[in-house]
Structure 1
Amino acid sequence: MTVYRSSAALGGSPYSSHTNQQGGSHAAASASLGTIVRAIIRGFGQTLITLGLVVMLFAGYEVYGKELQVDGNKDTLNSQLNQQWSHQTGAAASTPIPGQGLARIYIPRLQKDWVVVEGVTPHDIRLAPGHYPKSQLPGQVGNFAVAGHRIKAIFYDLDQLKNGDEIVVQTRTDWFIYKVSLTEIVSPHEVSVVDPVPHHPGATPTQKMITLTTCNPKWDNYQRLIIHGVLASTQPTSAGQPPEITGS
């Protein structure tokens, strides 16, 4: 007798070979899809890391690169200002030259000092504070107004000033010691803060003031931080640096 043994009789299935082939195809397809997904995720992660490094490098440049640029530019401006003052006399000495140094400003609380240039265009104030051309000069009745970027090397910590803190301005002939009288935060459109009488366009000034303006908050520009000060005392440059700077 011929015995026919089916694969089922041996505990197998007549469809097992076909099923294995299908399962193998599905497994291969799943493995291939998984590889693609992992590659995409890996690539996305590497892109994020690269972007993060770029952002960190840019932030480092903004903090330290700009600081080096400002310091180098300050040395140049100081030398130029000394030369200007040594050759200027009379009315010529008080005539601002666009883009060039006008005065020096010291803020003892912040242990910072800068040369103030004439003008507030983006080029003028790129690496130094700038004098608003239509505002008064240091020591004059009215408002000596100065703008500066909110970067580490310039007006970054201006919000630390308190009423009574000194802002010292040096010109060729005099030292002017102002004292902070008011701090305010305003809209960028509130240009009256640099008027001869802040917030009162057209009013006749009676005080000798200084106003410093910068962006607010730090690393942004949708507001303006304003520091106002009033002249407290004056002394000639021939008398040397005032005690507000020397600490004596």
Structure 2
Amino acid sequence: MNPYILPCSPRFVIIDYRASDEIINYLKKLNIIPIKTIKCNELQEPVNGHPDMVIHPIDYENFVVAPNVYDYYRIALKSAGVRLIKGSTTLSINYPGDISYNVARVGRYAIHNLHHTDEVLKHYLEKSGIEFIHVRQGYSKCSTTALNGNTALTSDTSIYEKLTSCNINCLYINPEVVLLNGYNHGFIGGCTGLINDKTFLSTGKICDKNIADTIKEFIMSAGYTYNEASNEQITDLGTIIPIV
């Protein structure tokens, strides 16, 4: 079971504390309550509010959280009805000390640089029957969005190659179309995702029309409508984590 593939609209979403008012208001109009992240001081400034750097949902009810921010989420998510599990890896500012929880999920697979996956997270994924795929890319969740058990987007070539070798229908997206202030670019997984069982959401607009049209056609072929949460350039905020 992939916690990013939704059977219905989520009650809450965890979103970067720097998300614009336009995006926050878009979510509220869908009757979704945004829960803003807390700044993780041990991470680089551009990603210190990204949910997928510090939290990994095993399923809809069990979330592994980095020790750095565990106490905050224990309180912030108290009313959300999810079980929080403290990870074993305290994140640090430099790669690979910051990637332990940034694990992509597609179908029955968890995709990550397995040399640096948090051991608690790995244990619970194994317990859930998840199979592992090793890739060079440590920011694999940032780089990947699943649409269903057999379809995904990625902005990383090594992930694209591994997924296609597993007969996953995968579309590669040039990461340079994604804005992430402080870096040359962001990644597709940090600015897109499913917001309910029918709708694929991006944080903003893709300036390259050819790429935008290709993504929209791919999304529609998977059975989803394509929506934009803002009129801004599509921006990597880290994966928006849903709570159903």
After TM superposition, the score normalised by the length of structure 2 is 0.26
Q: TM-score, normalised by structure 1?
A: 0.26
Larger radius of gyration: 1
Q: Which has the higher contact order (CA 8 A, sep 6+)?
A: 2
